[in-house]
């Protein structure tokens, strides 16, 4: 069993995953969660987490396809003794607060663990649907594996921790707005019922997601930023409700240096993600925001 479960960042593929397209994920080790039994100084936080876990345990026990996969008797016993998940992963920020919980519960209580990552993704999706109504399962998979990977309809490709090239720098900025995943995902799913929207999204958006991933892994900086520019335009066209008004100016594509912004997770708040090859110019541009450099 792991000591802790790290938060995650979806670099690319947050909505195209719904179409079983490619996505690229990395762990964000600045935030994490770990199992603990209560201590007096953390009593309020531990009680909140413990109650949330009890509701999750109830969900697992009442879901026919999940109830036999876990040692729920042990889970209930530990919860009655005050077990909780101590976490500094911000909720509503697209960094995997529910993903770490799902990964931790699976890791601690699953009766028969599997190394089939696609099977795990499906299972995690069913587990995480307790929190979001529906889930691809990819967030908990990242939190469980704890290392970068690319996922395609054919499988999961694990990547080395240093696969990112040194001249492509990644930043996160805090929108100071909590995101609510469920209504945003439901909005997107309603949109894709429109055949015109669906056709344009598959034709004019998904290919640039794949290109960004391929160029980032291959290290072709110029082609990467060219693809990112087209992806940014696509987010403005297809995912505008997921872009907060206070970061909209960052989604332009006419900067005089390599720079691009995109939503992180479901969008609608939380963090906004971006890339640049000039840290100084990007820092000047982002000076009004709280920035995390990955």
Domains recognised in the chain with CATH numbers: 5-158 (3.30.230.10), 169-293 (3.30.70.890)
Residue range 229-242: mean pLDDT, rounded: 94
Tokens (6 digits) for 192: 């894709």
Q: Which residues of 135-156 are buried (b: 16+ CB within 10 A; e: fewer)?
A: bbbbbbbbbbbbebbbbeeeeb
Residue range 145-169: mean pLDDT, rounded: 90
Residue 47 has pLDDT above 80, yes or no: no
In this prediction, residue 182 carries a pLDDT of 76
Residue range 269-282: mean pLDDT, rounded: 94
Instruction: Express each pLDDT in 124-146 by its tens digit.
Output: 999 999 987 778 888 999 999 99
* 58-62, 127-131, 216-220, 254-258, range with greatest mean pLDDT: 58-62
Instruction: Express each pLDDT in 55-92 by its tens digit.
Output: 999 999 999 999 999 999 999 999 999 999 999 998 87
In the structure, what pLDDT confidence band is assigned to residue 245 with cuts at 50, 70 and 90?
Answer: very high
Q: Mention every residue, 6+ apart, whose C-beta is less than 8 A from residue 232.
A: 251, 253, 260, 261, 262
- Do the Cβ atoms of 193 and 170 come closer than 8 Å? no
Handedness of CA 144, 150, 154, 155 (dihedral sign): negative
* 16-30, 62-76, 89-103, 173-187, range with greatest mean pLDDT: 62-76
Residue 108 has pLDDT above 70, yes or no: yes
Q: Which of these, 219, 233, 230, lies nearest to 277 by C-alpha position?
A: 219
Half-sphere exposure at residue 116, Cβ-oriented, CA atoms within 13 angstroms: 7
Residue 229 has pLDDT above 90, yes or no: yes
């Amino acid at each position: 069993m792991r000591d802790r479960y790290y938060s995650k960042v979806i670099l690319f593929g947050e909505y195209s995953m719904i179409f079983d397209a490619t996505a690229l994920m990395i762990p964000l080790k600045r935030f994490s969660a770990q199992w603990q039994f209560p201590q007096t100084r953390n009593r309020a936080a531990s009680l909140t987490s413990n109650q949330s876990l009890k509701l999750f345990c109830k969900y697992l026990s009442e879901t026919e396809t999940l109830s036999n996969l876990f040692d729920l008797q042990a889970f209930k016993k530990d919860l009655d003794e005050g077990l909780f998940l101590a976490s500094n992963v911000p909720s509503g920020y697209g960094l995997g607060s529910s993903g770490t919980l799902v990964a931790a519960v699976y890791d601690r209580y699953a009766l028969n663990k599997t190394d089939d990552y696609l099977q795990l993704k499906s299972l995690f999706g069913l587990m995480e649907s307790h929190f979001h109504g529906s889930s691809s399962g990819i967030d908990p998979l990242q939190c469980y594996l704890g290392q970068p990977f690319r996922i395609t309809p054919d499988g999961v490709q694990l990547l080395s921790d240093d696969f990112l090239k040194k001249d492509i720098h990644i930043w996160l900025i805090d929108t100071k707005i909590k995101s609510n995943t469920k209504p945003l995902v439901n909005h997107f799913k309603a949109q894709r019922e429109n055949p015109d929207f669906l056709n344009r999204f598959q034709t004019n958006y998904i290919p640039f997601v794949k290109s960004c991933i391929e160029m980032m892994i291959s290290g072709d900086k110029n082609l990467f930023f060219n693809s990112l520019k087209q992806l940014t335009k696509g987010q403005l066209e297809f995912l505008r409700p997921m872009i907060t008004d206070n970061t909209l100016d960052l989604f332009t594509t006419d900067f005089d240096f390599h720079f691009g912004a995109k939503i992180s997770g479901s969008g609608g708040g939380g963090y906004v993600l971006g890339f640049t090859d000039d840290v100084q110019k990007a820092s000047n541009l982002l000076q009004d925001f709280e920035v995390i450099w990955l």
